[in-house]
Amino acid sequence: MAGAYDDRDGLIWLDGKMVPWRDANVHILTHGLHYASAVFEGERAYGGKIFKSREHSQRLLDSGNMLDCQIPYTVDEIEAAKDEVMKASGLSDAYVRVLAWRGSGEDMGVASARNPVRMAVAAWEWGAYYGDAKMKGAKLDIAKWRRPDPATIPCKAKASGLYMICTMSKHAAEAKGCSDAMMFDYRGYVAEATGANIFFVKDGEVHTPDPDCFLNGITRQTVIGMLKDRQIKVHERHIMPEELEGFEQCWLTGTAAEVTPVGQIGDYNFEVGALTKDIAEGYEKLVRE
């Protein structure tokens, strides 16, 4: 499948029905479009099976609750919708996007309690998120925007509005010839990339930022489990910017990113070392079990 995302063949699950791809539309006065009252999940299917599917469905519901946007479906109903889309797509390996949002209704100001919460599920082919970076290591810029204080946002929700600074940071990075940008948090600690968590290696041990103000990714949690199974010490902690110079290896994790090596962040360089390769290869095997 190729071309603009609004002009493709196929079917999308929308509010309980399968509709032609080009007809899966919403009204211009949809609340989610104006006020970012939307949450989503990005998932990957391997061999026809979505990896950690139920965990993604539960997180969608949890995210909706954090935004006071209760999604009118259960985990089982969301799972059934995804299964229906996968079968209709005819795809074995696919990216699956589930989106829930406040639709148009009686409210059009900031408040939207009377507007219905809607949901859609789509699936398409999507290769490596960072292209050939999976082989040679991604090049990252350092973003000027920072992950906010959790007192200002529902930082544990996978909410659409929280990605605004990520989009701006990634655009700025791409303009410099980079694949992505690494972000600091509001205190100045290393946080994450614009859509992926980050790991570092030093002296055979792994260091990764404490997700106390950003999303603790499902892939992140999976990789930490893999490292512990390999008896590798994992330090989840606050990481200062000046520590970047001392790290030997680096990688990103995320549903879209999977496990992607990083070769450079700003002026700091990293090798695509043995541990990075082992975790990347191990993850590829795990998702297809």
- CB atoms closer than 10 angstroms to residue 106: 9
Amino acid at 55: E
Q: Are strands 17-20 and 11-14 parallel, antiparallel or unpaired?
A: antiparallel
Is 158 one of the annotated active-site residues of the chain?
Answer: yes
* pLDDT above 70 as % of the chain: 99
> What's the mean pLDDT in 217-245?
98
Q: Is the domain defined by 133-286 classed in CATH 3.30.450.90?
A: no
Residue in 82, 134, 139, 158 annotated catalytic: 158
Q: Apex CA 53: angle with CA 52 and CA 55, to 5°?
A: 70
Q: Report pTM.
A: 0.95
Select the more confidently predicted residue: 1 or 154: 154
Residue 29 scores a pLDDT above 70: yes
- The CATH number corresponding to 11-124 among 3.40.50.261, 1.20.1630.10, 3.40.50.300, 3.30.470.10 equals 3.30.470.10
261: nearest Cα among 182, 198, 177: 198
Residue 1 scores a pLDDT above 70: no
**Domain definitions of the chain by residue range:** 11-124, 133-286
> What's the mean pLDDT in 224-237?
98
270: nearest Cα among 90, 136, 179: 136
Q: How many Å apart are CA 207 and CA 152, to the nearest integer? A: 27
Amino acid at 64: G
